[in-house]
Every structure is written in structure tokens, then in C-alpha cells.
């Protein structure tokens, strides 16, 4: 069955009939129609929060043809057009220039050599090909393209053993419709099986739209030996920073040593490189909006169509601070000045993040000198290394979380408090001059 035949069959199954009022549930939900045009406020009021329903779990099977965004343009022209607007998110921030401490803190990991902000889903393939961090294995494609996602679902763990370049030949598109819907618009489907494994029985407790985004905006690691993308938890209850750190320190051992993404060659600290834990932060303890709203409610939102009576989910992914209509319609119900409030949260979090980064650099350099001095036993050094490892983990959990504190200010400052306390504790473990 070629792509066009498969698309026609899927489209028939969705059951969109001309002239019939329908609600297609999920992130790509909804043409809500009526006989008379609706004003914008009424249309948006009739649109439910996106993705509140239960997500589907992907079926792992061979012979699946991935349908890409352009394959759905004819059926969903307004959604497709909004998706293509993500090309506007083209700015890259050089984090190594913005935060020079990273060269020391991530030494010698790839992020100490090249670390730029992601430009958005449209540029995922370009960004991974143009990065200064060379890739050997296919695992680096995990969240960059549905072509690799489908390959994993067909091959299983063996897909992770392929070379980066082998998979490159198969990649035709970055994050797209298949990533969140498989080949069925109107249904949210978790296509990354490691998320399903990590949530276990808690899978159905998480709103579908949060799962769609949380497939990739999550803390993960590559399992030692196999390289399989994995999450450091088995339920919702153990996804806190404390539980994740405990998992890395006590449960995931490699040759008797706690798991590490890299080891600093000067200090000997086996460091954890946290990824982007938006899922854990937004749904974590202390979050005000998690559970009340979904990721899609704030970063997508419903838009009134050109006909004035239908709505569709905006697939131009932006900060809610840039969405004046969303602020006016929703956020203003609780916030007098959302933009100022969020900027204040972010500025305070960033200031503390920079201060503690300086403290961690001091700790790193002091420990490197202690190692070189020969004045410390290995037992004494290991005691300092353990505390330093934990301190940087809590700091990194905040630094790489893309909301800069806005998703969960309480959790953000809890982590920074722990990072600062542990850094001071480690510095206090050195022999006085």
C-alpha cells in the first residue's frame, strides 16, 4: 500500500463527513462547526482543553510507512500552515558564550565544546547535523525524527546499535505529525516506547497532550552497553529530582560504580548530564499549573478558523508570553500581568543559576588542585567527589529545564537550594591552607 492509499484509508477511518459537525479529539482535534458563524470568544469557549483524553500506545510492528506533514496538508491546511510557521523560530543562543562556566562544568563532554539552543522542531535535523558534537550511534536521533522512532518500533533495541550515518540516509523530516499521532490525526499516540515502559500503570493518569510533549521533553539516558534510550524511573511517584538522583547513584550501577554520562578528567567526578526535564518539572511537586492545564493549552492553544465558526489547535509552538490572545482569554483570569510575573520568576532563577555555577566552578578547580597535590587519600577525594556530583546534578536539573523556572518556581529553588548547600559542604571538606 503506497502513501496515498494508506492516507486515504486512514482518513476514511477518522470519519470526517462533509456538512456534519464533528469533534476530532486530541492535539490535532476539532473542527467544531455550526450553522451560523461564532465569534472568537464563543468558539474558543466551546473548545475543550486540548489533549485531556487518554493517549494511545503505539503498536510496534514492521512494514509501517511514516506519513509526514506534507501528506496531511490537503486534509488539514490550517493546521499544516501553523506547523510550517515554526520556521520562524530560527534564533540560536550560544550557551557557551552566555554561560562560560559550562566549559569547566561539562569538561570534557561534548556540551563543553558546542552547546547551542534548539531552534524548534522544524530545524531538528539541521541542528543535529550541524552541531559541533559529533555523533557515532543512531541513539542521537531518538527525538529528532519520526523516521528513527518508527525504526525503533520495527526493529526494537537493535536500532540503537546502528551508526548515526546509517540512519541519516533514512531521515526525511524532523519532528512531525507521526511523532505525536502515529499515522492517525485526531488521536494522540505515544510513539516512544521508553515513555510507556517508564510510566507503567501510571500511563493513563497523564493527560494525552502532556505525554505527547513529555516523550522528548524529559530526563533520559542511554542504557550502558545497549545504548537504548531509557528514563530513570518506573512510575510517576519516582520522577522527582531526588528520586532520579537516587536511581543514578544506587540503582543504575556500571561495574559497581554509579552511572555517569562523563567523568571530569581533572577531578575524577563521575558526572550526570541532565537533559531537559520539562515533564518532571511541570508535573512535579510544587507545580501550580500541572494537572490544571496541559502543555498544549499553553504552548499551542485553539485558534478560530478562517470560516469564523471552526476551531483548530495551533501547531505554531510558542511561549505563552508571546500569545496575547491566550493571555487575554485565559491567563488574565488569574494573572494581572502574566508577562511581568513570569519575567520576574525567570530573572531570579537565572541570577541564582549563574551564582551557583560560579560556586561549582570554584569547587571543580579546588578539587582538581587537591587531586594534583597528592595530599589527599583516594577515600578523602571520593567523599568530596560524591558530594560534588550531587551538587552539580541539582544545579543542572534547573539549568537545562527550558522554562528557566517558570514551569515550577518552587521545585526550581528547591533544587538550587540543594545545589548551593552541597557545593558549600564539598568546599568545606578540603584541608585548610
Q: Is residue 328 part of a domain?
A: no
List pLDDT tens digits, range 7-28.
444 444 433 333 323 333 333 3
CATH code of the domain containing 227? 1.10.1130.10
Radius of gyration over alpha carbons of the chain, in Å?
Answer: 23
Q: Are residues 34 and 100 located together in one domain of the fold?
A: no
For 10-13, the CB contacts below 8 A with 24+ separation are 10/67, 10/183, 10/184, 11/75, 13/184
Q: Is residue 433 part of a domain?
A: no
Domain that holds residue 23: 3-53+298-318
Task: Give the lowest-confidence range in 34-38, 260-264, 350-354.
Answer: 34-38
CA distances from 405 to 341, 350, 358, 390, 397 (A): 12, 8, 19, 20, 11
CA–CA gap between residue 100 and residue 118 (Å, rounded): 18
Contact call for residues 119 and 91 (beta carbons, < 8 A): yes
Q: Are residues 134 and 168 located together in one domain of the fold?
A: yes
List pLDDT tens digits, range 268-296.
999 999 999 999 999 999 999 998 999 99
pLDDT, the chain, mean: 87
List pLDDT tens digits, range 312-333.
999 999 899 999 989 999 999 9
| Number of domains composing the chain | 3
Question: In this predicted structure, what is the pLDDT of residue 145?
Answer: 94
Q: Are residues 85 and 176 located together in one domain of the fold?
A: yes
Q: Are residues 13 and 91 located together in one domain of the fold?
A: no
Q: Are residues 40 and 107 located together in one domain of the fold?
A: no
Q: Are residues 392 and 363 located together in one domain of the fold?
A: yes
CA–CA gap between residue 345 and residue 1 (Å, rounded): 52
Pull the grid cell for residue 368. Answer: 582538581
Contact call for residues 113 and 27 (beta carbons, < 8 A): no
Q: Are residues 385 and 343 located together in one domain of the fold?
A: yes
Beta bridge partners of 263: 270
Q: Are residues 87 and 184 located together in one domain of the fold?
A: yes
List pLDDT tens digits, range 52-81.
578 899 988 889 999 999 999 999 999 999
Q: Are residues 68 and 20 located together in one domain of the fold?
A: no
List pLDDT tens digits, range 137-172.
999 999 999 999 999 999 999 999 999 999 999 999
CA–CA gap between residue 11 and residue 18 (Å, rounded): 13
Averaged pLDDT, 27-43: 37
Q: Are residues 209 and 63 located together in one domain of the fold?
A: yes
Q: Are residues 120 and 252 located together in one domain of the fold?
A: yes
Q: Are residues 96 and 63 located together in one domain of the fold?
A: yes
Q: Is residue 404 part of a domain?
A: yes
Amino acid at each position: 500500500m503506497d502513501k496515498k492509499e494508506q492516507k486515504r484509508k486512514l482518513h476514511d477511518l477518522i470519519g470526517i463527513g462533509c456538512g456534519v459537525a464533528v469533534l476530532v479529539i486530541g492535539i490535532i482535534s476539532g473542527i467544531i462547526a455550526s450553522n451560523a458563524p461564532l465569534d472568537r470568544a464563543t468558539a474558543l469557549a466551546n473548545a475543550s482543553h486540548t489533549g485531556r483524553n487518554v493517549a494511545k500506545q503505539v503498536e510496534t510492528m514492521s512494514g509501517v510507512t511514516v506519513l509526514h506533514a506534507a501528506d496531511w496538508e490537503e486534509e488539514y491546511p490550517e493546521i499544516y500552515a501553523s506547523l510550517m510557521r515554526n520556521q520562524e523560530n530560527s534564533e540560536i543562543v550560544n550557551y557557551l558564550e552566555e554561560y562560560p562556566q559550562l566549559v569547566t562544568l561539562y569538561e570534557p563532554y561534548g556540551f563543553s565544546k558546542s552547546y547551542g539552543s534548539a531552534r524548534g522542531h522544524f530545524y531538528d535535523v539541521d541542528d543535529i547535523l550541524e552541531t559541533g558534537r559529533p555523533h557515532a550511534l543512531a541513539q542521537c536521533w531518538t527525538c529528532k525524527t519520526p523516521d528513527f522512532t518508527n525504526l525503533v518500533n520495527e526493529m526494537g533495541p537493535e536500532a540503537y546499535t546502528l551508526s548515526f550515518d546509517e540512519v541519516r540516509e533514512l531521515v526525511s523530516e524532523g519532528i512531525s505529525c507521526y511523532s505525536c499521532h502515529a499515522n492517525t490525526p485526531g488521536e494522540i499516540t505515544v510513539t516512544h516506547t521508553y515513555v510507556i515502559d517508564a510510566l507503567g500503570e501510571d500511563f493513563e493518569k497523564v493527560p494525552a497532550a502532556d505525554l505527547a510533549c513529555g516523550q522528548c521533553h524529559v530526563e533520559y539516558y542511554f542504557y550502558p552497553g545497549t545504548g537504548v534510550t531509557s528514563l530513570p524511573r518506573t512510575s510517576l511517584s519516582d520522577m522527582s529530582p531526588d528520586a532520579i538522583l537516587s536511581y543514578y547513584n544506587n540503582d543504575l550501577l556500571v561495574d559497581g560504580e554509579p552511572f555517569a554520562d562523563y567523568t571530569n578528567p581533572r577531578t575524577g567526578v563521575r558526572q550526570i548530564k541532565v537533559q531537559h526535564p520539562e515533564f518532571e518539572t511541570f508535573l512535579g511537586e510544587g507545580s501550580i499549573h500541572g494537572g490544571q492545564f496541559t502543555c498544549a493549552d499553553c504552548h499551542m492553544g485553539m485558534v478560530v478558523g478562517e470560516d469564523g465558526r471552526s476551531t483548530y489547535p495551533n501547531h505554531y509552538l510558542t511561549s505563552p508570553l508571546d500569545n496575547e490572545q491566550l493571555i487575554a482569554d485565559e491567563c488574565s483570569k488569574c494573572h494581572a500581568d502574566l508577562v511581568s510575573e513570569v519575567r520576574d520568576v525567570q530573572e531570579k532563577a537565572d541570577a541564582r543559576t549563574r551564582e551557583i555555577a560560579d560556586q561549582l566552578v570554584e569547587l571543580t578547580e579546588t578539587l582538581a588542585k587537591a587531586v594534583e597535590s597528592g595530599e589527599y587519600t583516594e577515600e578523602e577525594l571520593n567523599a568530596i567527589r560524591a558530594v560534588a556530583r550531587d551538587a552539580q546534578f541539582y544545579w543542572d536539573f534547573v539549568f537545562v529545564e527550558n522554562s528557566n523556572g517558570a514551569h515550577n518556581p518552587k521545585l526550581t529553588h528547591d533544587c538550587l537550594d540543594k545545589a548551593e548547600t552541597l557545593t558549600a559542604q564539598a568546599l568545606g571538606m578540603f584541608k585548610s591552607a
